[in-house]
Structure 1
Amino acid sequence: MSAHPVYLDAATAAPLHPVARQALLAALDDGWADPARLYSRARRAAQLLDAAREATAATLDVRPDEVSFTPSGTHAAHSAVLGGLAGRQRSGDTLVHSAIEHSAVLHAAERHVATGGTATSVPVDRLGRLDLAAWSAAVHSPGVALAALIGASHEVGTVQPVAGAAAACAAAGVPLHVDAAQLVGRVPVPDGWSVLTASAHKWGGPPGVGLLVVRKGTRWESPWPADEREFGRTPGVVNLPAVVAAAASLRAAAADAAAEAARLTPLVDLIRARVAAEVPDVEVVGDPVDRLPHLVTFSCLYVDGEVLLHALDRRGFAVSSGSSCTSSTLRPSHVLEAMGVLSHGNVRVSLHRDTTGADVERFLAELPGIVAELRADAGVVGL
């Protein structure tokens, strides 16, 4: 193991932002009481919760009463989809979604279908970009209750045409849920959505905090048992210290987002160029232009993805993968599969505020040799 590990998996979970750490520690002392009670400690907790909600709403340019905090981004996505469908039962029972949605959305779609509803999957092209013509046709079909579109692919970095998809939904009178987990705190979120979800640990907040934003006028009903907290949208007491830390870190991350994008984009460009030039039989996937500033994915032929990740980990590099033939599923990533690109030996590299140019250079210097060694071990030579 390297003496200096390099973390390159921010798309899964970004390192805790210093602002989040400070806010969390302060809120542990000051925000442990139930904000729904009337005594002084509870009123102080309620003030912290209100301030966190107002700060989050200001960052997202929405109303505070449109924002609810959930136990996770997955919970928020389930709530968005199932609640959006419940609120529009009189309009129909069809959910339209892209083929590359996060598994949380796809699992909610499976639950909807299992209980008698229908779902339509809209394809993407080889760059992972939504087929807008097919999307428009799908949302204009009879009986569509809700549409769901991921704002940017968490596996390949392609930014989706949310504005165009939202315009098609508006013309059809269909509300749109946008999974903005990879957008919030990093890049501006396009307008036109009715329901938005995100996850705090993607922008450097603590794990265990999701965002569910339901715009006023949207027909949405909670799919969970009744609860008076969080405007009735999600049951249970919120983890107030974590919520305070999430709101504080979101404000800090959003303030630095443009500068971070300008810093990280050239590093991702460098990875895309060097990997393609220096590793034989590799495919760099995702849109080279309309993409997230911090994420790049590539696939290496003749290399098992799980073996490659372990080899990189032994050399001190923490990365992720959507590769086929993993021990848990024996299936390729549904995103790579939908794109029709190479999934074998897939590596996803995602940078963060602590990533340096030296980290990237070291990764690029060691990657070709690691891949060559694995191919030699597998009996693949002469490439």
Structure 2
Amino acid sequence: GDERESGRAPGFENLPAIVAAAASLRAVRAEAAAEAARLRELTERIRSRVPELVPDVEVVGDPSRRLPGIVTFSCLYVDGETLLHELDRAGFSVSSGSSCTSSTLTPSHVLRAMGVLSEGNVRVSLPAGTPAEDVERFLEVLPGTVAAVREKLGAPAATENVRAAGPGLVVDALGRRCPIPVIELAKVIGDVPVGATVRVLSDDEAARLDIPAWCEMRGQEYVGEEPAERGTAYLVRRTS
């Protein structure tokens, strides 16, 4: 302090420190803007390359109105938690908004609100400083990892858990969790004539979201759902 108020006044403002703080803030904001632009380019590469490298993938979210370092996509016929663990073993820590967890059968409320596929969901977050080389290695590892998870999950032969129902088929997926109901639907849709229906029985809450999303991705008609003796019956009409 100074001589004012018996030496208890704090003195004058530290103008050099104030100027330095303002300059630092300007520099940090400029660096943040440049880093955000760089991360947006990296996430855009993931968004564009993943559908080219991995079949049956739905990239989620608006292509431009989004945070620069986050990208989300969902893989058909894949358990999200299994994929998460396999990627972790390969050195990539990602998150999953999938409904397929060991503790719940409830789909992600965010994915449900967006009306997109919930199974096999992966959310990639790129922190500041993420090198482009890490993104390229992720794109190299992902296709084989997804293929391995799909192979590991497998699916019953088309004749298993399937029975005739007039002009269509009934797929009994009761007691089986995502993504098995969709896998079994995909395996039998070609066994019915165009215009006929497949009736999928499922007590997995995720099926209410994933079967319509599968129809949208595969160009088939989702007719709707109806109560069944156990679980819910989801009706899909083959259109092609």
Q: TM-score range by the shorter chain?
A: 0.5 to 0.7
Q: 2:41 aligns with which of 241, 250, 266?
A: 266
Alpha-carbon distance, 1:354 to partner: 2.2
Give the secondary-structure state (helix, strand or coil) at the position aligned to 1:317: coil
Separation in structure 1 between the aligned mates of residue 43 and residue 73 of structure 2, nearest angstrom: 12
1:171 aligned residue: none
Listed as ranges, the gaps of 5+ residues in structure 1 are 1-42, 44-50, 59-247
Query: Which protein shows a greater Rg?
Result: 2
> In structure 2, the residue corresponding to 1:269 is in which secondary structure?
helix
Which digits, 9 at most, give the CA deviation of each residue in 1:13-68, with x for residues without a partner? xxxxxxxxxxxxxxxxxxxxxxxxxxxxxx9xxxxxxx9xxx8xx8xxxxxxxxxx
2:53 to 265, 272, 278: 278
User: Match of 1:367?
Assistant: 142
Q: Tell me the CA shift for residue 251 of structure 1.
A: 8.1
5+ long unaligned stretches in structure 2: 1-9, 11-16, 156-182, 188-240
Query: What are the residue-to-residue correspondences of 1:39-54 with 2, within 5 Å?
Result: none
Distance 1:284 1:261 in 2: 20
**Corresponding position of 2:4:** none
Q: How does 1:234-245 map to 2 (within 5 A)?
A: none
Q: How far apart, CA to CA, are the structure 2 residues paired with 1:253 and 1:308?
A: 37
Amino acid at match of 2:66: R
Is 1:350 the counterpart of 2:137? The answer is no
Residue 305 of structure 1 corresponds to which residue in structure 2? 80
| Aligned counterpart, 1:333 | 108
Number of residues of Structure 1 aligned to a counterpart in Structure 2: 143
Cα deviation digits, residues 190-238 of structure 1 (max 9, x gap): xxxxxxxxxxxxxxxxxxxxxxxxxxxxxxxxxxxxxxxxxxxxxxxxx
The one-letter amino acid of 2:80's match is: G
* Aligned counterparts of 1:320 and 1:286: Cα–Cα separation in 2: 16
Q: Given residue 100 of structure 2, which amino acid in structure 1 is its aligned partner?
A: C
1:315-326 → structure 2 map (5 Å cutoff): 315-326=90-101
Q: What is the letter of the counterpart of residue 337 of structure 1? A: R
Provide the C-alpha distance between the structure 1 equivalents of 2:81 and 2:139, rounded to a whole number of angstroms.
19
Q: For each residue in 1:97-126, what CA deviation from the matched residue of structure 2 results, as whole angstroms up to 9, or x when unmatched?
A: xxxxxxxxxxxxxxxxxxxxxxxxxxxxxx
- In 2, distance between residues paired with 1:252 and 1:326? 43
- 1:328 deviates by 3.0
Deviation above 4 Å: which 4+ runs of structure 1? 250-253, 380-383
Could you state the TM-score of these two structures normalised by the residue count of structure 1?
0.34
Which string of whole-angstrom CA distances, capped at 9 and with x for unpartnered residues, describes residues 115-138 of structure 1? xxxxxxxxxxxxxxxxxxxxxxxx
Question: What is aligned with 1:291?
Answer: 66
Q: Aligned to 1:349, what secondary structure does the other structure show?
A: strand
Q: Distance in 2 between matches of 1:311 and 1:251?
A: 42
Partners in 2 of 1:254 and 1:321 — Cα distance? 31
Instruction: Give 1:253 shift.
Output: 5.3
Q: For residues 278 and 300 of structure 1, what CA distance do their matches in structure 2 show?
A: 12
In 1: Cα distance, 2:63 partner to 2:88 partner = 27
Kindly provide the amino acid, as one letter, of the partner of residue 106 in structure 2. Answer: R
Report which structure shows greater RCO (CA 8 Å, sep ≥6): 1
The residue that corresponds to 2:3 in the other structure is: none
Q: Distance in 1 between matches of 2:66 and 2:127?
A: 15
TM-score of the pair, normalised by structure 2: 0.53
> How far apart, CA to CA, are the structure 2 residues paired with 1:314 and 1:377?
16
What RMSD in Å do the two structures reach over aligned CA positions?
A: 3.1
CA deviation map 1:300-339 (0-9, x unaligned) = 1111111110000001000111111212332221111100
Query: Could you tell me how far apart the structure 2 residues matched to 1:251 and 1:374 are?
Result: 47
| Aligned-partner Cα distance in 1 for 2:58–2:108 | 15
**Matched residues in 1 for 2:27 and 2:147: separation?**
41
Q: How does 1:220-231 map to 2 (within 5 A)?
A: none
Residue identity opposite 1:339 in structure 2 = M
**In structure 1, C-alpha distance between the alignment counterparts of 2:64 and 2:31, rounded to whole Å:** 21
- Give the CA deviation at 1:342: 0.3
